[in-house]
Structures are given as structure tokens and as C-alpha cells.
Amino acid sequence: MVTEVTSQSWGGRLMESLKNIVFGVVVFGLALWLLWWNEGNAVNEYRLLNEVKDSVETVSADSISPDYEGKVVHVTGEVLTQDILKDPLFEISVNSIRLQRSVKMFQWKESTDMKTRKNVGGGSESITEYSYQQVWSDKLIDSSKFKESDGHQNPSVMQPENWSDVAENLTMGSFSLSPEVIRNINFYEPYTFHQATLPENARLEDSVIKIGSNGSIPDIGDKQIRFRIVPQETLSVIAAQMGSELKPWLTPKGIKYFDVRSGNHSAEEMLEQAEAEVRFFTWFVRGGGWLLLTFGMVTVLKPLVVIGDVIPFIGNIIGGGILIFSLIICAVIALTTIAIAWIVTRPLVGLPLLAAAVGLLLFQWSRARANRSSRSSSVDV
């Protein structure tokens, strides 16, 4: 473990916090844009799914009807291929939709733990501890950038590398699948194999190729290689019927849409899952946007904390107050932004959100008023 201690004066901290005001304003603006974009994207996604829901027809995979030419269809069936996929290095071959080689190497990894301690007078001391662990990683870790590289050196290359291949000719009953649809068939599972062409210093154990030391404790540079496949299986597809091929459907507005899911699912089930994914993504970005707004506001107000840090506990109190204030005010701003975006398209969704923003603002105002009254009563006594 390596420990590094750095000090910064009160004046240096204040100047740095003042410079960061511009950064905070930029982050705040980007967060507002992200929230606005996210709501517009959600509206467009829901409209697209509703358009698909109104247009999709379920057809049999056994035959192709000219009645559905160019229309969006829902097809369920077993996806098959005659292609044989073969790993060029270990010569493992399989009749499947996809074959993937996954390589992990035993390496050193650096972890950083940083703590900041405030001193009387407004200065600060940063204590950074660098620790090192041995881990299996599927990416090459560059040990030359470690704080302490001596004794923690990793190999400079990772051979063999990760590799994958995909079948080019897939059929679902009477239909073939376009390359765009095939690229989204990623339902992997571990592949069990018992034979492989092994290089020197390699062995095969329980479908894992191990290269390096033969002991129970691995050495730096040892490798483990596993394989995964996407087997021939039953899939459900929503796409356009173009001749005998299933390919992305082009809506009247020029937007492409298709969906592929593992198993036997009705069109209604697939679209419900798609709507759930849109909801999750939308709420995830909303939460992220709110936190970004808060971070931007806290950064803009950070000079007040630094000024209070002349006496450390005063700065802590100011910092805590600024954080709570920023969380609430930014929640109001986020809700207002979301509400305005929805009022334009769906007022019944936007108006309750706007009411929630106003309610939260009133709560903050009444809380501040109560605090002022409490302080005033204390002074009178």
C-alpha cells in the first residue's frame, strides 16, 4: 500500500472553487438539456410503440402470405442455421447462431481511496491510499500507470484476445432474417466442449482452457478461456415482411423498428416489455438528470462552503445546508422541466407533475419560514 498526502491552502481552495463556478453552470445547463431531451425521447418511443401496436399482425412462420407484404408482422418460430462456426485458434466448432471466445487474464489492479481532512484556517489535507489486488480481468490493465509499478507489473499484451463470430444465414420457418435483425440475437449461454486444439502450456478443465501455471494459486499472466454460444432456439420477432425476409419496419414517418426476444411471446407481451424498458430508461435518466442538476448547483455554491471552512465545523454546516437546499430546489426544477415537456404533448401527464413541483416548492418555503420563526423566538427569549 502507498500513501500520498497533499496540502492546499485556504486561498488555493477558494480560487479553485471560484474557477469551478463556470463548470458548475455548464453541468447545470447540460442536465436541463438532458431532462428535456429525455422526455421528448420518451414521448417519441411511446408513440412509436403505439403505432406498432395498431399496425402489427401475427402471422405463421410456416408460410408467407403476400397480403402482409411491406407490413409489420409478429412471427414466432425456431431459428435455424446450417452454418458451422469455428474458432480459428482452438478449432472449436459448433452449429449455432453465435460463438464467442471470452479471455480473462490474472493481473494486478490498483485501487484508490481518497480522504480529505479540513484544517483550522480553511486549508485542507488530502490523503490518498493506493492498494493493489490480484484479479481476473477480461481487459488488459496498464500497470505502467500505477502509482507504484515496481512489484506490480502486468504483461504488456493479452494473447489470445476475445473473439466472436455469427452465422450469416438464419431461417425462421419460411422466413430469412436480415443482418440488422441477426445482430440483435445476443441470447448467450455457456458452451460445454470436451476437445480443443491446445497451445503449449495449456490444459482443458471443465470446458475452461487454462494457460499458465498448473498450481491451485494462479500467477500473474495466467489466462482462462471460456466459450459461449447463442444456440438455435425459438425466438419471437416483430419486423417488416419484405418478400421472404424479416427486416426493420419503416414507419410512415421514416423511423425504423424491430424487436427480437428469446422464447415464445405474443406481440402484446413483446410490446409490454418494450414499454417497460422505455419506462425504466426514462426514470433512470430523470434520476441522473436530477443528480446532475444538484451537482452543478452545489459546485456553483461551493465558495460559500470554503469561506465557512475557516472554522471547519462551520463549513460542514454550510455544506450540509447547501446540499439539502440544492436537492430540493433541483427536484423542483427537474419536475418543472419534465412537466412542461409533457404538457406540450400530454397535458394530463404534465399537469400533475407541475402540481408536484409547486407543492415541493411550497414545502421548502414553509420549511424556511418555520426555521426563521424558530430563530426569532429564540432571540426574543
How does pLDDT run along the chain (381 residues), one tens digit per residue? 777 777 767 777 778 888 889 999 999 999 999 998 998 888 889 889 999 999 999 999 999 999 999 999 999 999 999 999 999 999 999 999 999 999 999 999 999 888 887 777 777 778 889 999 999 999 999 999 898 888 899 999 999 999 999 998 899 999 999 999 999 999 999 999 999 999 888 999 999 999 998 877 899 999 999 999 999 999 999 999 999 999 999 988 888 999 999 999 999 999 999 999 999 999 999 999 999 999 999 999 888 887 887 787 787 888 888 888 889 888 888 888 887 777 655 555 556 666 666 666 666 666 656 555 555 554 444
pLDDT value for 379: 44
Cell of 64: 408467407
Query: What 3-state class would DSSP assign to 218?
Result: coil
Query: Using CB atoms within 10 A of its CB, is residue 153 exposed (0-12), middle (13-18) or buried (19+)?
Result: middle
Say what the pTM is. Answer: 0.78
Give the number of other CB atoms < 10 A from CB of residue 85.
20
Query: Using CB atoms within 10 A of its CB, is residue 380 exposed (0-12), middle (13-18) or buried (19+)?
Result: exposed
Residue at grid coordinates 494459486 = 217
Residue 246 and residue 77: Cα distance in Å, rounded? 13
Cell of 345: 404533448
Residue 256 and residue 21: Cα distance in Å, rounded? 42
Helix, strand, coil % (nearest 5) of the chain?
45, 25, 30
pLDDT value for 381: 44
Residue 148 and residue 145: Cα distance in Å, rounded? 8
Residue-wise pLDDT for 62-74, tens only, equals: 999 999 999 999 9
Residue 336 and residue 343: Cα distance in Å, rounded? 10
pLDDT value for 107: 95
Residue at grid coordinates 471443465 = 206
CB-side neighbour CA atoms (13 Å) of 74 = 17
Residue 284 and residue 183: Cα distance in Å, rounded? 26
What DSSP line would sit under 171-197, residue for residue?
EETTEEE-HHHHTT----EE---S---
Is residue 248 within 8 A of residue 183, CB to CB? The reply is no
Identify residue 316 by its one-letter amino acid code: N
Residue 320 and residue 318: Cα distance in Å, rounded? 5
Cell of 60: 405463421
Residue 168 and residue 252: Cα distance in Å, rounded? 29
pLDDT value for 357: 60
Residue 289 and residue 301: Cα distance in Å, rounded? 18
Q: Where are the alpha helices (DSSP H) in 105-152?
A: none
